[in-house]
Amino acid sequence: MRKWILILILFLIVLFIAYKYVFQEHRDIQTEKSSYTTSAVELAKEFEINSIDSESKYLDKTIQISGSISEFNEHSITLDNSVFCLFSEPQVTLFKLNEKVIIKGRFIGYDDLLEQIKMDQCDIIN
């Protein structure tokens, strides 16, 4: 009888650990501390030199980027024609072209074809 109770307890422990592993809490990028702080121009230069190493360095990290707005709509902003920032929620703030902003978000990849750095879950700092 003790053997079955021990097996049941071990099974429940393994089941609990598996549940916690599969259903982890989501990251809150807005409250996370930035891993890197840089400008859009400097980041683009880094990707021009070596995109593979740069992508592995920044992948899934929280980055704070400053730059001038080159394109915008309610769901995204492009900084200095090189960093595409996708917002989690539509922005009602009125942006102006060439306006300086600081944005924090999660780096998700580099698009070789468009030569754009992609970020999501972005939030405007200033």
The per-residue pLDDT for 119 is 95
Long-range contacts of 69-73 (CB under 8 A, 24+ apart): 69/95, 69/96, 69/97, 69/98, 69/99, 69/101, 70/97, 70/98, 72/97
44 C-beta neighbours (distance < 10 Å), count: 21
User: Treating both helix axes as pointing N-terminal to C-terminal, what angle do 51-58 and 40-49 enclose, rounded to 10 degrees?
Assistant: 130
pTM, two decimals, is 0.77
Question: 71-106 pLDDT, tens per residue?
Answer: 988 899 999 999 999 998 888 777 888 999 999 999
